[in-house]
């Protein structure tokens, strides 16, 4: 029988490494966005999201391939999405002004694509018995991949159009926001 305390210690060490690395990742991602001119929203969407999703990728692969628990993989991915939205609400509560008034409008485009992708993923689960497959791969996987590629291209184009229109954008509100 495994020792519970050793497993908790291993979990805590891994969490500590992730916390330390996350602070460095944010710093370097910001520098990359500034130095390349790609835009912070796009660097966040592609580079930061890819790297911070590596734990879900490895957990998902091991859950399916090693443990044979696809429900664990799906729960991890969808749970991570939900938890990330919770993080936004906690950050909003901690700041002196509303978080969403400080971010660029290009995040609206990212949020819309996120809603579309989550909706298609939900449909894939709901319609799994009736969905045609190509070899062993659900046709919804190809749809998700196509929407993802289209979304990163669309967000990149939107971000660069906004940078050309207003190259010195710094936490300006795109439209008046009134709060009670």
Q: Which helix (H) or strand (E) holds 138?
A: strand 137-138
- Geometric angle at alpha carbon 155, from 76 and 89, rounded to 5°: 50
Entry pTM: 0.72
Answer yes or no: are the C-beta atoms of 169 and 163 closer than 8 Å.
yes
Please provide residue 134's backbone torsions phi and psi, each rounded to the nearest 5 degrees.
-115, 110
pLDDT tens sequence across 8-67: 999 899 889 988 988 898 889 889 888 887 777 778 878 888 888 888 889 889 999 998
Domains of the chain, residue spans: 40-165
Greatest mean pLDDT range, 32-36, 99-103, 122-126, 176-180 = 122-126
Gap between the Cα atoms of 18 and 131, Å rounded: 38
């Amino acid at each position: 029988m495994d020792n519970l305390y050793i497993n908790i210690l291993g979990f805590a060490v891994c969490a500590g490494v992730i916390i330390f690395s996350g602070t460095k990742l944010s710093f370097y991602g910001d520098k990359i966005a500034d130095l390349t001119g790609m835009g912070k929203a796009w660097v966040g969407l592609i580079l930061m999201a890819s790297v911070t999703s590596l734990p879900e990728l490895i957990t998902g692969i091991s859950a399916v391939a090693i443990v044979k628990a696809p429900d664990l993989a799906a729960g991890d991915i969808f749970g991570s999405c939900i938890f990330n939205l919770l993080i936004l609400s906690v950050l909003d509560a901690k700041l002196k002004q509303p978080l969403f008034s400080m971010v660029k409008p290009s995040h609206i485009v990212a949020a819309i694509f996120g809603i579309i992708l989550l909706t298609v993923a939900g449909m894939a689960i709901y319609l799994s018995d009736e969905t045609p497959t190509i070899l062993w791969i659900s046709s919804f996987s190809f749809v998700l991949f196509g929407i993802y590629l289209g979304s990163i291209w669309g967000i990149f184009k939107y971000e660069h159009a906004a940078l050309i229109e207003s190259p010195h954008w710094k936490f300006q509100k795109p439209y008046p926001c009134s709060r009670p």
